[in-house]
Structure 1
Amino acid sequence: MRLEFSWLAVVLSLFLQQDVYQDSVQAASILGIFSYHFSSHSLVLRPLARALVKRGHNVTLITPVGMPADIEGVRHIRVPKLNQRVQEMIECDQMMDFFGSKWIAGWLAVTMLYNMSSDILSAEGVQRMLKDRNEHFDLVMMEPSALEALYGIVEYYNATLMGFCGGNVNWSTEEVAGNVAPSISDPISSLGYSRGNSLLSKIYNWVHITEEKLLTHLIVRPSQLSIFKKFFGYSEQKFYQMRDKYSVILVNNHFSMGRVRSNVPNIIEVGGLHLSEPPKYCDEKLQRFMDEAEHGVIYFSMGQEIMVQFLPENMQQNLMKTLIQFKQRVVWKTELYNMPNKSDNIYVIEQPPQRAVLAHPNTRLFITNGGLLSVMEAVYSGVPILGLPVFFDQFINLRNVDLRGMAEVLDVNELSVDILTTTIRELLENPKYTLNAKKMSQSFRDRPMSPLDTAVWWTEYALRNGDASHMRLKTEDVPLYYQWDWLFLIILRFGIVFASVIYLLYKLFQKSRSSRRPIQDRGTAFQQLSLLDPRYQTQ
């Protein structure tokens, strides 16, 4: 009897403790601003928004139409013009590949970013919100991206500013977090970025990052400042002060993914947020196809944004010719149901339940373009990867897991049946890839709190503390050469150019003098000869 009362007391105390904890957090008004029309960003944002609503907070999201889909309990303010900006972003990336210059790319990107900031601030729903005197927000959550004109909303409501990074961390995110120490491993764009490990590659990447900083300071930021002044009338000084106002920045990353970072305290890794959502399950036909795969399953998917029909014809054919050679069954994500030369061991599906496919015990290999969430799901399930990166952050995502020994990465422009066959056979038959994948999976899963619980706790930490300057590096604590490394490179590069011009002018002057000297020499010789020989003397 005494034992039963003891158990009752324990349960009651836990229940009361939970109620006290929930009551200790006051309901807050939270505004999230997310401009990108990418399904991956929505998958990461959605569970956090739901969890905050469940905690009693009032959540408003400013997003493109349909991304994310309506969330129960969340007020959505949609900006239709943002939907077309994604296509512009893809076209901009294609033009960057064509021109091959980040300086030209900067001019293309600045227009797109300018338009996105203007689209948000001029949208009917946003304007209605700003004009409503009863509107108030305690916290504004946004991507720590180049849309810095939106800092005006934070100042307008005198709210706490929190970052939420759905993609990879880059040097720009580090900068607004207060870490100005240079990083040569986190570019904004992978265009022209070296993936080597030599000293020359590191120097090249240092130049690459410094040029990105110049583009941001000289092109992107001034355009955002003009919008900031136009819509809010705040000063330039206020604009730059707002960049130091980030309290906490949640990043969709985790050190187990292959990239160990020297994070400052206010950068919180919550990689795997989307895994808190219940997964979709395989239908009966797909489940049976995988269950009966005696030799295992290879899963092929190029992500949500790439349609197989737009892949080069030779790439599709080479993949098909390669995969039908293996005894493993293949689950192939494609919108083309009538694929030519399709074998009976290939299961074609337009929208596979990817997490369920990767989690199946018979899945032996994942062939992917390397989107961040896809790589994360492969790490979570411990499945080796064959990477075929195409654009954006895919090269970096796959390089990280490649360095950890659970993946091989191929150039999509140089795919052949022989290369594919050799690489796939190596991944399937060499046990080191599976072993390394399982080790990464264990490290990814082993945390004191789930990614979602971590994200909620730090969001409410930002609400409780407001000014989180105690978590930021102070400028005076950062060595001077970390703060001015970009200036050194500018001086060095312009110094080389200036010295080259001076040297060229000196050489031209020398050449000009040497061309006049023979004439002068002939005149002098004639005078000397006239003194010696009377025949050359003039009358």
Structure 2
Amino acid sequence: MWTTLSFTLTVLSLVLLSCPSSDSSRILVVPVDGSHWLNMEHILRKLHSRGHEITVLRSAKSWYIPENSTVYTSINIRMLEDEEDLEVYNRMLLDVIECRKKSRFIRSFCQQYEITKLLGKGHEILANSAALLLDDPVFMKKMHDAQFNLMLTDPGMPIGVILGSYLKLPTVFNVRWINNGESHFAMAPSPASYIPISGTELTDKMDFVDRVKNVLFYIYSQTELQFLIYPAYSNLMERHFPPGTDLLSLELSADIWLVRADFVFEFPRPTMPNVVYIGGFQCQEPSPLPNDLQTFVESSGDHGVIIMSLGTFVSALPRKATEAIAAAFAELPQKVIWKYIGQQPTTLGNNTLLVKWLPQKDLLGHPKTRAFVAHGGTNGMYEAIYHGVPVVGLPLLFDQFDNVVRLKERGAARIVEAKSITKESFLEAVKDVVENPSYRENVQRLSRLHRDTPMSPMDTALFWIEYVIRNKGAPHLRAVGYSLPWYSYFCLDVAAFLLVILVALVCKKQQQKNKKKNNKKTLK
């Protein structure tokens, strides 16, 4: 009897110890599709395992977010995916390649203009989508009745920001990009003298010409915000929020910003108390490869394998580029696994395996992987750092150019251009990265630094999400500077006041001098 009771108590203790420590809460999630969803999903799975109830708002035409899931309940709403398809980004790639043919100073502005055209249309769609939600009494009643405890959203698409603010929910951002640039530019001091503006492809070590470019880019981005993005939401703000509210003020009211960055990769810069860094949180130790891939990898012998993937959006490079890449791969002693969709290159070698999908993390973590040919997406860069694999960067769109510059600055990557890629240039870059030990040594040093933390990025993210739930927000971490008018923030009113006093004193002093001169003349 006592043995049975003891066994029962032991099992019960183990069950209780394995239960999540945080009380179950209702979390409303508004994600961004594409690669952004891939990392949001990791957080949702962890939250679900800790007993939280999750509701995800998604488009019925979502590219990657499943409608049915064991992790969350989904509600379909109108989002960007209802109006745009992945071909938009493939067409944009061709325009960006043309931009890359211009001078180094001009091409960044050309690329940003292409993004501006996309942003203009995109924010109009998102503003209309948010208005449809707030104007729908049935939907809003459903949201109120659900009694959510938290809004978890990626503010790259601000529907979650608007809805969470309207529902007065504590809000946590899973963020790197916001509106038209990197999130720090919205919520932290960002001196243009050493903080490179998103899209400039600059480092934190700028000469005079670089700083001119950086300042001009800052002016461009602020103009874009004030005259293109914020006005798209002005009608919505007037109808549903207190006077003076704008999109930026809603964004700055977030309790915690979980920023997908690590200063092992990013350049050091000012930050804020409610910013928590979780760069690389989606990374994990590799799992065994599928049998067919394992056999292919093992067949590489001591030469090892090279992995190539260009991410989730762009399905294929221009034909000329893919032929050049395939021809270069064919001359390497390594085996190559290439995530590729499209017509097979005619120059494809016997050492190259084309696949429509590959287990990227597991391949990067394999000891035979020698290099990673990547477009420079944030997820891929952190996975390369985590597993200590050097990179051949082939940036195509958006932040990818800045990302590969950061890794190149750390001595862990080479960059090749899609606009001018040839078999010879690509072959030389890959051979250099594979054969020059400095690239692997540098990225493995970054890997050690990235892993050397008291708490994993994922555990850090979970702690702060549940912190906000437990405390019903974190307003004590928000700086009062967010609510100051711009002239007070920069102390221009104080400067004007002191200038008036100085002018008054100078005038008074001058009057006294003139009076003394006049008195002397009178005495004479």
Relative to the length of structure 2, the TM-score reads 0.78
Partner of 2:80: 82
- SS of corresponding position for 1:366: strand
Pick the aligned partner of 2:374 from 352, 365, 368: 368
1:460 aligned residue: 466
Counterparts in 2 of 1:134 and 1:457: CA distance versus 1, 3 Å: same
Counterpart AA for 2:395: P
Is the counterpart of residue 306 in structure 1 residue 283 in structure 2? no
297-306 or 233-242: which moved more?
Answer: 233-242
Q: Which residue of 2 aligns with 1:33?
A: 30
Larger Rg: 1
Give 1:386's aligned amino acid: V
Q: Do the aligned partners of 1:258 and 1:403 also contact (CA within 8 Å) in 2?
A: no
Q: Does 1:409 align with 2:415?
A: yes
Q: Counterparts in 2 of 1:63-78, with a 5 A limit? A: 63-65=58-60, 66=62, 67-69=64-66, 70-78=68-76
1:385 pairs, out of 377, 391, 395, with: 391
Structure 1 residues 457 and 126 mapped into 2: Cα distance closer, same or farther (>3 Å)?
farther
Q: Percent identity?
A: 23
Q: 1:139 to 1:389 in 2, by over 3 A?
A: same
Q: Matched residue of 1:275: which SS? A: coil
- Matches of 1:197 and 1:124 in 2, distance apart? 46
Moved more, 413-422 or 371-380: 413-422
| Whole-angstrom distance in 2 between the partners of 1:296 and 1:105 | 39
Deviation at 1:125, TM superposition (A): 12
Displacement of 1:464 in angstroms is: 2.8
For residues 237 and 414 of structure 2, the distance between their equivalents in structure 1, rounded to whole angstroms, comes to 45
Deviations 1:401-430 (A, max 9, x none): 111111011221111222222222221221
Alignment of 1:28-427 (within 5 A): 28-34=25-31, 36-38=32-34, 40-65=35-60, 66=62, 67-69=64-66, 70-79=68-77, 81-83=79-81, 84-85=83-84, 87=86, 90=89, 100=110, 102=112, 106=116, 108-122=118-132, 128-132=138-142, 134-145=145-156, 147=158, 151-165=161-175, 173-174=183-184, 176-177=186-187, 179-183=188-192, 185=195, 187-188=197-198, 190=199, 197-230=206-239, 232=240, 234-237=242-245, 241-276=249-284, 281-294=288-301, 295-308=303-316, 311-336=317-342, 338-427=344-433
CA distance in 2, matches of 1:374, 1:49: 20
Give CA-to-partner distance per residue, 1:427-463, whole Å, 9 cap, x none.
1221111111111111122221122211110011122
Question: Which amino acid is the alignment partner of residue 221 of structure 2?
Answer: E
- The answer to whether structure 1 residue 439 and structure 2 residue 420 are counterparts is no
Aligned mates of 2:125, 2:324 — CA distance in 1: 41
SS at match of 2:183: helix
Question: Contact conserved, 1:136 with 1:157, CA < 8 A, in 2?
Answer: no
Residue pair 1:103, 1:215 contacting (<8 A) in 2 also = no
What displacement does 1:391 show?
Answer: 0.7
| Partner Cα distance (2:37, 2:460) in 1 | 18
Equivalent position SS for 2:282: helix
Amino acid across the alignment from 2:321: M
SS in structure 2 of the partner of residue 85 of structure 1: coil
Please tell me whether the aligned partners of residues 170 and 186 of structure 1 are also in contact (alpha carbons under 8 angstroms).
Answer: no
| Greater Cα offset, 119-128 or 421-430 | 119-128
Q: Name structure 2 gaps, 5 residues minimum.
A: 1-9, 100-108, 493-524
CA shift for structure 1 position 386: 0.7
Which residue of structure 2 lines up, in the alignment, with residue 510 of structure 1? none
Distance in 2 (CA, whole Å) between partners of 1:104 and 1:351 is 29
User: Closer, same or farther in 2 for the Cα pair 1:42/1:145, shift >3 Å?
Assistant: closer
Once the two structures are TM-superposed, the CA of residue 193 in structure 1 deviates from its matched residue by 5.5
- Letter aligned with residue 273 of structure 1: F
In the alignment, what sits opposite 2:105? Answer: none
Alpha-carbon shift at residue 73 of structure 1 (Å): 4.1
Distance apart, 1:281 and its partner CA: 4.4
CA displacement, residues 455-492 of structure 1 (integer Å, 9 cap, x when unaligned): 110011122334433323342999x9995599xxxxxx
State the 1:390 CA deviation: 0.7
- The Cα of 1:387 is off from its aligned counterpart by 0.6
Structure 1 stretches lacking a partner, 5+ long: 1-9, 487-539
1:357-378: CA deviation from partner (whole Å, max 9, x where unpaired): 1111111111111111111111
Q: 1:316 to 1:127 in 2, by over 3 A?
A: farther
Secondary structure of 2:73's match? strand
Once residues 416 and 258 of structure 2 are traced to their aligned partners in structure 1, the CA distance between those partners, rounded to angstroms, is 31
Is this contact kept in 2: 1:168–1:253, CA < 8 A?
no
Q: Give CA deviations for 1:32-61 in whole Å, capped at 9, x if unaligned.
A: 212x321x2111111211222232322211
2: CA distance, partners of 1:152 / 1:321: 50
Write the letter of the residue equivalent to 1:75: T
User: Could you tell me which residue of structure 2 aligns to residue 4 of structure 1?
Assistant: none
Matched residues in 2 for 1:327 and 1:105: separation?
39
Shift of 1:284: 1.7
Distance 1:94 1:129, change over 3 A: farther
CA contact (8 A) 1:61 1:74 kept: yes
- CA pair 248-194 structure 1, distance change in 2 beyond 3 A: same
Aligned counterparts of 1:476 and 1:451: Cα–Cα separation in 2: 27
Q: Which amino acid aligns with 1:263?
A: T
- Contact 1:144–1:163 under 8 Å retained in 2: yes
Give the residue type in structure 2 aligned to 1:134. Answer: D
Q: Secondary structure at the match of 1:272?
A: coil
Contact kept, 8 Å, 2:412 with 2:443, in 1: the verdict is: yes
Q: Deviations over 1:248-292 (max 9, x none)?
A: 00112212224334321211111223225x866432222112112
- The superposition leaves residues 219-272 of structure 1 with CA deviations (integer Å, 9 ceiling, x where unpaired) of 211221212334x25433476653431110011221222433432121111122
Contact 1:165 1:251 in 2 (8 A): yes
